[in-house]
Homo-oligomer: A and B are copies of this chain.
Amino acid sequence: MEKTIVLASGNEGKAREFRAILEPLGFKIVLQKELGIDSPEETGKSFLENAMIKAYYAAEKSGMWALADDSGLCVDALNGAPGIYSARYSSVDGEHGDDKANNAKLLDDLKNVPNGKRTARYYCALCLVRHKDDPVPLTVLASWEGAIGYKEIGANGFGYDPLFEVTGRNCTAAQLPPQIKNLISHRGRALQALTYKIEHNLF
């Protein structure tokens, strides 16, 4: 029997990534907005807590399994900022900012930080719950090491990708082909770890 999972995200790009990996395992992915489900406030202190808040909310509203992700960028010279506020970093009203404004703010915040001190990493937390009171949510956290450059380079990806110089590769995340990014990125590896746990029934 095919199992349906509600994806607690409105992002079509993420939905595509999740479908590509989870549908071959026998899961059907529906977006929460297709079911008329809104998004809860992300009041958590960590990527993981925010992913849990979103997954439990979607499970409660849908009565189905629900999967949520929460991800962001932590810059060492900024003491971990923008962190869980990555999507709303340049925002003044607490709503999601746009990528251009977020990237501009990040460059400005780092304008006096020299090469070698601009290290950063992306994080992705995933949470899969089977019902609204699931005592053992399936969770993973993965990270991706890099450094923040001096200008936007590359047209793929989204968010801070044009500024994120991937450690060990002579390019930014926005210069990677999607299929390569999906293999090595924070979200790609989090999904691989989640898949492993689902396949081995590690709830």
Contacts and interface: CB of A to CB of B under 8 A. Distances in A.
Given A45-B132, A48-B136, A49-B49, 14 more contacts: A45-B56, A45-B133, A46-B134, A46-B135, A47-B135, A49-B52, A49-B137, A72-B135, A74-B135, A74-B136, A83-B135, A84-B135, A123-B136, A139-B141
Interface string A128-154: 000011111101010100000000000
A177 interface: no
Q: Is the interface of A mostly helix, strand, loop or mixed?
A: mixed
Contacts of A136: 46-48, 74, 123, 141, 143
- A-B interface, 6 closest residue pairs, ranked by CB to CB distance from nearest: A83-B135, A46-B135, A84-B135, A46-B137, A45-B133, A123-B136
A178 interface: no
Contacts of A10: none
